[in-house]
Structure 1
Amino acid sequence: MSRLPEVLARLDSAEAEIRGRYFDFLRIPSVSAQPDHAADCRRAAAWLVEELRAIGCTAEIRETRGQPAVVAYHPGPGNGASPVLYYGHYDVQPAEPFELWTSPPFEPTLKEGPNGPITVARGAVDDKGQVMTWLAAMRAWHEVAGGPPVPVRVLVEGEEEIGSPSLDAFLDQHAGELKQARAVVVSDTNMWDPQTPAISARLRGMAYAQIDLYAASRDLHSGLYGGMALNPINLLSKIVAELTDANGRIQLPGFYDAVPEVGGNLDAAWDSLGFDEGRFLGDIGLSVPAGEKGLKPLVRQWARPTCDVNGIWGGYTGPGSKTVIAAEAHAKVSFRLVGDQDPEAVLDSLEAFVKARVPADARVEVQRFASAPPVVVPEDSDEVAAARRALAAEYGREAVLIGSGGSIPVVESFRRILGLDSVLMGFGLNDDQVHSPNEKFDWACLMHGARSHARLLAELGA
């Protein structure tokens, strides 16, 4: 007889306890991008080890070339079934600019949102809140039944927000242990809306670089040298502006060769979702669509590549005026990729594009950072079917299959290195302000997420 009803009841009665552990996790400023927070990243890993040991798992910190990972195992009922691998990340984005937060980013605050209570903090949803959904479900199973109804492996990394640079080597090193699973469950994606659960079936890839342009040997007086000396800020601004044309198409040679068109059945399925682009943009204070002209909004968001300048700087940016021609300029540029686009080939093309536009007496360097291919996950696996049943039982409506404009590089790594496909069952919302000040997670989403994971474990154990 299934213990699921008792597990769900336990979750409902444990909201205050779940919130307390969740808030403790959020108070750790585990910012992987900033070296000053390396000790905090290790502290977050240690916190997870203690949590996992408390629910009956064998858990330990494993070293990587960067931030440590956490690996855990629970044998479940001991019936010899193949385990399911749960993945998450404990690292978070930098909280800057601090002055835009309405409450301290690492002091979680419960507030009232449009759909009920929300938690505001860095990492509230990405990914500490979503990790808490399945941690809470496992704890409830442990307290009611002594453990989950299926063997479970856990991998939580600390570098996802910087592109998971150490993860491939870590997966290679521990492949014999980690690949002994039937699939990977990832909660780092969104629902369709607060009432409609979703399984994400595709992720865009990523190619990220920094362009460093150097000209004169020092900053120059703009009166003495203006009109004579190269201004690297002017040149770099021109170069990045030329990356896209007036129709939003990216101008790197051959860029679209590996980009497939969206087929009729998929196009019709996305049309049936009733996406409201005006409302989507209105929620962030915009009204005019951007991107490639002539394409539907969900096609642009899920099935077309992008190029964005994520930061640009150089020269004097302080208060008042200082009339200088800067000696150098810098820009960070990212591409979201689809289809069979190769991120390294895209970065090769970017580097050639930039260098062809730089005069002989200037110097340019292109630093390469995150790189991940796009992913399409199977929609017809037994594990996806189990997730859809769990979500339908929890929400009283079918889960929709959606795409994601974002990237989760590890999903491709799991497939390439471990031979495992993923189930992308997330509980975020579009208005969660991920990577922005005042990131939030609806409390209802966290609790429904925990109950959904409890149901998923029951389905997989069946």
Structure 2
Amino acid sequence: MTLDAVLSRIDTDLPEALDRLLELLRIPSISTDPAYKADCARAADWLVEDLKSLGFEAASRPTPGHPMVVAHGGSGDKHLLFYGHYDVQPVDPLTLWDRDPFDPQVQDTAKGKVIRGRGSSDDKGQLMTFLEACRAWKAVHGTLPCKLTIFLEGEEESGSPSLIPFMQANAAELKADIALICDTGLFDDSTPAITTMLRGLLGEEMTIHAASKDLHSGSYGGAAANPIKILAKILGNLSDAQGHITIPHFYDGVAELPDTIRAQWQSLSFDHAKFLGDVGLSIPIGEQDRTPLEMLWSRPTAEINGIWGGYTGDGFKTVLPAQAHAKVSFRLVGDQDADAIRDNFRAWVEAQLPADCRVEWKSHGGGGASVMAIDDPAFEAARLALGAEWGKPAAYIGCGGSIPIAGYFKTYLDMDAMLIGFGRDDDQIHSPNEKYDLECFHKGTRSWARILAKLA
């Protein structure tokens, strides 16, 4: 079979594919630090040349920040867009690395061989699985499997300031039948997954003002409003005894899970005791009428991320502070409206303030959730392809975090995205000693070849 020949080529060429990945990993493309601007451009140029060697028409496209890499190749009725990012996180603290983060190496560990270096898993190793699948396909067939657009970003790790303007300006060029994103992971060490739900995110910062200045608690305590007490009481009311969020209309737009997805999640046998035990906890604390996986993937949250005020230095100071501060974030699901939740949260807080106190607000942005339309046959085709490679059925899963690019594809290009990645939980992305398992790099490449065969 033609697919067998492609898979065989991937196996044979693994050493050369690994050399190419190590070469890319040596480029310190840290997007958030201006000192590495030239290195980000160098990484973009490296990818352009690699894509050209595969027969793509590729270019490094300027932005006010770091370049976008855009490439087009292949032909056919099916048009797929692949997205990845070539920038990486800073490496601090350097003293916690066992080796130079930009001198990557294949290492033997108790669990097998790993590729060690910054960006190995997030996201250079992941994006190269797709390019290596295309390379093997081209070597065997002489052509790419279908019409392909490659879209690689250089600012994902620094907030993507250029992304939306670039997508808006180039929407006609970038639009495809579906987007493929390789910036996620397996469900567990051996179960492949397609992420179909991504929670949105809303951030709010609040400052409660009381007296015009800090007060001596001996002189004013008991009579004057203490903004820390007021803030603590309000935030303590965020959820009830059953873990439900108490903000009015908070659950508007939150849909129940389809029975098929709920049954699939239950079949995953998620070990919540181990999940919490790994961080020194034992009891799920959220909505008591929901399973832990539902809490993590398909239910909204309200969390206090920081709270401060008064005297916090060494020793003791008996003060009633004039101000108290908190940062609160909301993970959003389904059709929850970030703007409506912000308005309702602010009104809820203000209704609980004493008459002579006021609250000052600072927004930290917000965006809704992304839910993919898995009735598109492409999703089931990809799920079957992944199952064939990994030897067990792939799972449709949710993601507790937020991956904005998936929502951007829907908002600005009107297309769904499939998030398929091969990272593992212990890859230590964003941390010292980041790694990517060689097995994941190899089987990830084979997986993309199988997916391309199904979709094309």
Shift of 1:9: 2.6
Answering whether residue 388 of structure 2 is matched by residue 393 of structure 1, we say yes
In structure 2, the residue matched to 1:270 is 265
Q: Cα–Cα, structure 1 residues 61 and 414, in superposed 2: closer, same or farther, change >3 Å?
A: same
Q: Which residue of 1 aligns with 2:81?
A: 85
Instruction: Spell out the pairing of 1:5-404 with structure 2 (5 A cutoff).
Output: 5-34=4-33, 37-74=36-73, 76=74, 78=75, 80-96=76-92, 98=94, 100-113=96-109, 115-161=111-157, 163-179=159-175, 181-211=176-206, 240-311=235-306, 331-353=326-348, 364-369=360-365, 371-404=366-399
C-alpha separation between the residues in 1 aligned to 2:427 and 2:433?
Answer: 8
Structure 2: distance between partners of 1:321 and 1:58: 65
Match of 2:443, SS?
Answer: helix
Displacement after TM superposition at 1:272 (Å): 1.8
Task: Please list the CA deviations of residues 283-317 of structure 1 after superposition, one character each: whole Å capped at 9, or x if unmatched.
Answer: 34432323222321111111101223445567888
| Partner Cα separation in structure 1 for residue 157 and residue 352 of structure 2 | 32
Kindly provide the CA deviation profile for residues 179-215 of structure 1, in whole angstroms up to 9, marking residues without a partner as x: 1x22111112222222222222222222234446678
Letter in 2 for 1:5: D
Q: Contact 2:208–2:323 (CA<8 Å) still a contact in 1?
A: yes
Q: Provide the residue aligned with 2:444 in structure 1.
A: 449
TM-score of the pair, normalised by structure 1: 0.83
Q: Distance in 2 between matches of 1:121 and 1:285?
A: 28
| Counterpart amino acid of residue 185 in structure 2 | N
Letter in 2 for 1:84: L
CA contact (8 A) 1:55 1:138 kept: yes
Unpaired runs of at least 5, structure 1? none
Within 1, Cα distance between the matches of 2:235 and 2:430? Answer: 23
Query: Match of 1:154, as an amino acid?
Result: I
Q: Higher mean Cα deviation, 449-458 or 99-108?
A: 99-108
Instruction: Give the alignment's TM-score, normalised by structure 2.
Output: 0.84
Task: Give, in angstroms, the shift of residue 324 of structure 1.
Answer: 9.6
Give the drift of 1:341: 0.5
Shift of residue 382 of structure 1? 3.1
Aligned 8 A contact 1:23 1:108 in 2: yes
Distance in 1 (CA, whole Å) between partners of 2:226 and 2:122 is 40
State how far apart, in whole Å, the 2-side matches of 1:105 and 1:317 are.
Answer: 37
Counterpart of 1:388 in structure 2: which amino acid? R
For the Cα contact (< 8 Å) 1:355–1:364, is it kept in 2? Answer: no
Evaluate the alpha carbon distance shift between residue 123 and residue 209 of structure 1 in structure 2; reply closer, same or farther with a 3 A threshold. farther
Q: For residues 166 and 221 of structure 1, do their structure 2 counterparts lie closer, same or farther at Cα, with a shift above 3 Å needed?
A: same
Structure-2 separation of matches of 1:126 and 1:430: 12
Letter in 1 for 2:179: V
Question: Structure 1's 330 and 99: CA in aligned 2 closer, same or farther, altered over 3 A?
Answer: farther
Q: 1:387 touches 1:425 (CA, 8 Å); kept in 2?
A: no
Q: Deviations over 1:363-403 (max 9, x none)?
A: 6331323x332122122323223312321331233222222
Cα distance, 1:418 vs structure 2: 1.9
CA distance in structure 1 between the aligned counterparts of 2:328 and 2:164, rounded to whole angstroms = 23
Query: How far apart are the structure 2 equivalents of 1:197 and 1:441?
Result: 15
SS of the residue aligned with 2:119?
coil
Mapped to 2, the partners of 1:176 and 1:63 lie a distance apart of 18
Deviation of the 1:83 alpha carbon: 2.2
Q: CA separation of 1:268/1:216 partners in 2, compared to 1, >3 Å: closer, same or farther?
A: same
Matched letter for residue 275 of structure 1: F
- Output the CA distance in 2 between the equivalents of 1:69 and 1:450: 23
Q: 8 Å contact 1:142–1:148 — kept in the other structure? A: yes
Contact 1:252–1:353 under 8 Å retained in 2 = yes
Task: Give the C-alpha shift of residue 331 in structure 1.
Answer: 4.8
Residues 293, 94 of structure 1: CA spacing in aligned structure 2 closer, same or farther, 3 A cutoff?
farther
Which amino acid in the other structure matches residue 157 of structure 1?
Answer: E
CA RMSD, 1 decimal: 3.6
CA distance in 1, matches of 2:36, 2:8: 38
Contact 1:194–1:445, Cα closer than 8 Å, also in 2? no
In structure 2, do the counterparts of structure 1 residues 233 and 456 end up closer, same or farther at CA, with 3 Å as the change threshold? same
Query: In the TM superposition, what whole-angstrom CA distance separates every residue of 1:93-118 from its partner, at most 9, and x where no partner exists?
Result: 44455555555555445444553222
What is the rounded CA distance, in whole Å, between the counterparts of 1:243 and 1:33 in structure 2? 35
TM-fit CA distance, 1:73:
0.8
C-alpha separation in 2, matches of 1:60 and 1:35: 22
- Correspondence for 2:414: 419
1:192-240 deviations in Å (ceiling 9; x for gaps)? 222222222222222234446678999x798999959987777666655
Q: Which amino acid aligns with 1:45?
A: A
What is the DSSP-based 3-state SS (H/G/I as helix, E as strand, rest coil) of the residue aligned with 1:383? Answer: helix
Aligned AA (1:10): R
Contact 1:11-1:136 at 8 Å conserved across structures:
yes
